Copies of this chain bind each other. A is one copy, B any other.
Amino acid sequence: MPKVTEEYRVARRDEIAEAALRAFRRKGFQATSMAEIIAESGLSAGAIYGHYASKDAIIVDVASRVVGNRILDVERLAQTEPLAPPPTLPRVLVAGMLRAIGNPAIMLQLWGEGVTDPAVRTVAHDVIVRLRGALVEYTSLWHQRTHGTPPEEADVLAAEQAPLLISAVQGFVVQSAIVPDFDGEAYLASVEKYLPR
- What residues make up the interface of A, taking CB atoms closer than 8 Å to B? 26-28, 30-31, 105-106, 108-116, 121, 124-125, 128-129, 160-161, 163-164, 166-168, 170-172, 174-175, 177-180, 186-187, 189-191, 193-196
Closest beta carbon of chain B to A153's beta carbon, Å: 15
Q: Which 10 A-B pairs have the closest CB atoms?
A: A112-B112, A167-B171, A28-B116, A105-B115, A160-B190, A194-B196, A170-B174, A170-B171, A109-B112, A108-B111
Q: Is B161 a contact of A166 with CB atoms below 8 Å? A: no
Residues of B within 8 A of A193 (CB): 160
Residues of B within 8 A of A180 (CB): 125
Give which listed residue, B171, B178, B187, contacts A125 with CB less than 8 A: B178
Residues of B within 8 A of A110 (CB): 112
Other contacts beyond A108-B112, A164-B190, A170-B170: 18, CB < 8 A:
A26-B116, A28-B113, A28-B115, A28-B116, A31-B116, A111-B111, A111-B112, A111-B177, A111-B178, A112-B112, A112-B115, A114-B177, A128-B174, A161-B190, A161-B194, A164-B168, A164-B171, A167-B175
Output the nearest chain B residue to A160 by Cβ-Cβ distance.
B190
Q: Is A116 a contact of B109 with CB atoms below 8 Å? A: yes
Closest beta carbon of chain B to A69's beta carbon, Å: 18
